[in-house]
Structure 1
Amino acid sequence: MAQAQPKSPRRSPDELRTLCTNRQARHDYHLEETYEAGIALLGSEVKSIREGRANLRDSYAAFREGELFLYNCHVSPYAQASRFNPDPRRPRKLLLRREEIQRLVGKVEEKGLTLVPLSLYLKGRRVKVGLALARGKKQFDRREDVKRREAEREIARAVRSATR
């Protein structure tokens, strides 16, 4: 009798695995809407991103000739790649449907919003970018956020000490 083959450790196509996040974006911007976009990468870039060697800090998405590109995203060269390694900060094309791009162009131009990448993640075998339509925070907004977080921490501490 043949023995049953062990299941391969392949992930389900619906499973998400976060590879890189832009924590600074939530601090610097008011996030209004989020979108999911594909990203056009070279093979060695995909391998490098899967190893977690990408950085979204100070990156942004902008329109060029009717297409959406991700700028200033750093993807370190893959160590086992051949001599050809692309520029780590090259602009990378984001893949969205034409209707979504037109809707985003309208919102960005009309309301003065910007597109900020929030995360790089795997969805099945594909690398995706989480984008957000965002409005920049002013300095006093940031101070208010810090005060609010400190107040919440104080309340949590008081509740914990009262329950002991």
Structure 2
Amino acid sequence: MMDEGDLYRPAVGVMLISHAGKVWVGQRLDSTLEAWQMPQGGLDPGEEPLAGALRELEEETGIRPDLVEIITRAREELTYDLPEDLVGKIWKKPWRGQRQTWFLARFLGQDEDIDIATPHPEFRAWKWAEPAELPAMIVPFKKKLYEDIVEAFSEWL
């Protein structure tokens, strides 16, 4: 019998804040929606969440780990469910959604250090956004997740 946790893909995410307190978001290449998201992705087998978060951040934004300072980690994993029509189509396994470990990080570099033209690009554009705007910018099925992330890090924003 599968454990409820086995239905959710282990993943990580990074809320990266700028010198001005704004949050990095990218517009996905594979979506026709006007949706923006923070860097996030699945963990490799045996990978620790922090290592996975820094890897995903660099893979998606070109930002090297030495250009970020980890401020904190969310107290608990945050989850979201995929819409029924996407279950079994996005990932190799038929996961219901993701259970993510989120990190809040400060960007120590300059905008010129960001390069979304990575070997496996995920974004067509990027910008800095106000934290309060994030839930309205994401695809609808992740809105509650983004509300939870903003709440989890509110004392540092």
TM-score (norm 1): 0.25
CA radius of gyration, larger in: 1
TM-score (norm 2): 0.25
